[in-house]
């Protein structure tokens, strides 16, 4: 066997597969929980007595906590040790899942979903930065990032499939309980297969953390509310206005802080900033597809929730396969070509869906654009992941990963709010929404041409760190 020279803190090759399984399952777990409860919502409403206007909080509570705390979770991993925070996040996620499965009232379930979201906000950015700690730069790291990107890109569709299977076969409570044994296994395995990154000198920027968390939470809430209420709704306007004001306050705090939560030099890298924008586009596309096609399949094609979930299987498989293939060639061709091609294919898939006839059939009218979209999204997710973490020092990789996750979360909220409003108010409904989605993807194509370099930037110098 060829002897491999390991960087400090990296694990032995025989444990790399186990490390990748732990990281990929953790990422898949937190992403799929954004949609896994959707299919179970009618059962949850009947069991716990939710008012129809409050049921959306089962989904929004997780999304708000997850999106709002991502930056804090990423920075905490950089400062206090990524493996340590990864395990803490997984255990917090398990606690929220277990509590949610035991819920006997709406308030109880919503509170448990908040805890789940907080755990996910710690796990997601630390999982990505742990790949940089565990795998050497080059082919091995690219393959690992391909698996991560596949999990991130397909998690929403996998959540719908699992949600339908579990709700149909067992009980809505197992949609939450199923996370507990998985999370406990991950928490036990992580210290055995993942390297310890140690603590770093520095302190947490609390003013920045409070304003950033509040700003993102309010923006996600306002956009989520706009998707189900009018944009002129008083609470929607108030949430978006307050979120924008807090975002401005956050930027002012970061400019003056000696140890900012998000050093603004992260955005000085043109390619990384472009990757963040492209991830917003991919997030908007993915969530909108899941939302609109679920309604079309159930309301137009007459599919059961379980059958509708399985109809998204080509999307999940296509994203995973494309991300893996891309991870094996991006080292030779660079990230720019896959990202631009992915944006074009995503636009083509959305435009294709806008031509759905009133008597649409799955195989004839939906399968083709779904496969096209899966390839396009897969081509975007992996290279943007590489670009986002390339050039960032290891002391900031968790934060770079957190901003990438925030971009995807905000993109999904913005896309669903804008396209959902168009679908509700335009005469041609879903068709017009898909057409606008195609235009958004074309904007992503232009951004990729203007910002993404042919080759990712070399890592920045490593900052000093303290022993664990």
* Contact (CB, 8 A) for 83 and 129: no
Indicate the pLDDT class of residue 160, thresholds 50, 70 and 90: confident
Task: Give the torsion through C-alpha atoms of 430, 432, 437, 441, to 10 deg.
Answer: 140
* Contact (CB, 8 A) for 206 and 71: no
Q: For residue 118, which of 190, 173, 188, 63 has the smallest C-alpha distance?
A: 63
* pTM, 2 dp: 0.81
- Which sign, positive or negative, has the C-alpha torsion 333, 335, 340, 342? positive
Asked whether residue 238 carries a pLDDT value surpassing 80, the answer given is: yes
User: How many whole angstroms separate alpha carbon 276 and alpha carbon 272?
Assistant: 6
Tokens standing for 399? 């934060």
Mean pLDDT, the chain, integer:
85
pLDDT for 4? 38
Q: What is the CA radius of gyration of the chain?
A: 21
Q: What is the pLDDT of residues 348-369, one digit of tens each?
A: 999 999 999 888 899 999 999 9
Helix, strand, coil percentages (3-state) for the chain, rounded to 5, are: 75, 0, 25
Task: Give the torsion through C-alpha atoms of 326, 137, 281, 26, to 10 deg.
Answer: 90
Q: What is the pLDDT of residues 431-456, one digit of tens each?
A: 898 999 999 999 999 999 999 987 65
Asked whether residue 157 carries a pLDDT value surpassing 90, the answer given is: no
* Cα 185 versus chain centre, distance: 22
Asked whether residue 23 carries a pLDDT value surpassing 70, the answer given is: yes
Q: Where are the domains of the chain?
A: 14-204+261-451
Tokens standing for 298? 């159930």
Q: What is the pLDDT of residues 42-84, one digit of tens each?
A: 889 889 998 876 787 888 888 888 888 888 888 888 888 889 9
Asked whether residue 26 carries a pLDDT value surpassing 80, the answer given is: yes
The hierarchical CATH code for the domain 14-204+261-451 is 1.20.1250.20
Asked whether residue 188 carries a pLDDT value surpassing 90, the answer given is: yes
What is the three-class DSSP state of 347?
helix
Q: How far apart are the first and last CA of the chain?
A: 32
The helix (H) or strand (E) run that includes residue 308 is helix 305-311
What is the three-class DSSP state of 198?
coil
For residue 370, what are the contacts with CB-CB under 8 A and spacing of at least 6?
289, 293, 312, 314, 315, 318, 349
Asked whether residue 467 carries a pLDDT value surpassing 60, the answer given is: no
* Contact (CB, 8 A) for 398 and 350: no
Q: For residue 349, which of 372, 327, 379, 315 has the smallest C-alpha distance?
A: 372
Please give the residue that has the higher pLDDT: either 240 or 7.
240
For residue 144, what are the contacts with CB-CB under 8 A and spacing of at least 6?
16, 20, 23, 131, 134, 135
């Amino acid at each position: 066997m060829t002897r491999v020279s390991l960087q400090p803190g990296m694990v032995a090759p025989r444990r790399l597969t186990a490390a990748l399984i732990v990281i990929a399952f953790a990422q898949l777990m937190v992403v799929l929980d954004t949609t896994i409860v959707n299919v179970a919502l009618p059962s949850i409403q009947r069991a716990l007595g939710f008012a129809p206007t409050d049921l959306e909080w089962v989904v929004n509570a997780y999304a708000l906590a997850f999106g709002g705390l991502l930056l804090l979770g990423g920075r905490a991993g950089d400062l206090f040790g990524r493996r340590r925070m990864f395990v803490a996040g997984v255990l917090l996620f398990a606690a929220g899942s277990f509590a949610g499965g035991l819920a006997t009232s709406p308030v109880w379930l919503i509170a448990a979903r908040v805890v789940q979201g907080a755990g996910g906000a710690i796990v997601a950015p630390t999982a990505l930065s742990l790949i940089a700690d565990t795998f050497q730069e080059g082919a091995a790291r690219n393959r690992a990032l391909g698996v991560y990107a596949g999990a991130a890109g397909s998690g929403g569709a996998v959540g719908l499939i699992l949600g339908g299977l579990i709700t149909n076969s067992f009980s809505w409570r197992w949609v939450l309980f199923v996370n507990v044994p998985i999370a406990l296994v991950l928490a036990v395995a992580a210290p055995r297969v993942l390297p310890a990154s140690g603590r770093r000198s520095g302190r947490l920027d609390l003013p920045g953390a409070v304003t950033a968390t509040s700003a993102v939470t309010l923006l996600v809430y306002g956009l989520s509310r706009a998707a189900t209420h009018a944009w002129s709704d008083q609470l929607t306007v108030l949430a978006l206005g307050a979120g924008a004001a807090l975002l401005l306050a956050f930027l002012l705090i970061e400019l003056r802080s000696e140890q900012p939560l998000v050093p603004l030099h992260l955005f000085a890298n043109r390619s990384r900033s472009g990757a963040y924008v492209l991830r917003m586009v991919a997030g908007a596309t993915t969530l909108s597809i899941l939302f609109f096609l679920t309604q079309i399949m159930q309301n137009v094609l007459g599919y059961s929730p379980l059958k509708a979930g399985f109809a998204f299987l080509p999307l999940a498989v296509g994203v995973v396969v494309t991300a893996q293939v891309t991870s094996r060639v991006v080292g030779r061709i660079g990230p720019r070509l896959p990202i631009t091609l992915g944006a074009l294919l995503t636009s083509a898939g959305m435009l294709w869906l806008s031509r759905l006839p009133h008597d649409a059939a799955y195989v004839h009218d939906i399968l083709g654009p779904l496969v096209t979209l899966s390839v396009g999204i897969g081509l975007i997710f992996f290279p943007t992941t590489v670009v986002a973490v390339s050039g960032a020092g290891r002391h900031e990789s968790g934060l770079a990963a957190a901003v990438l996750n925030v971009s995807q979360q905000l993109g999904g909220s913005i896309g669903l709010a804008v396209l959902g409003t168009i679908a509700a108010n335009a005469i041609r409904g879903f068709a017009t929404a898909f057409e606008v989605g195609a235009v958004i993807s074309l904007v992503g194509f232009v951004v990729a041409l203007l910002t993404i370099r042919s080759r990712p930037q070399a890592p920045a110098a490593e900052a000093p760190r303290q022993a664990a």
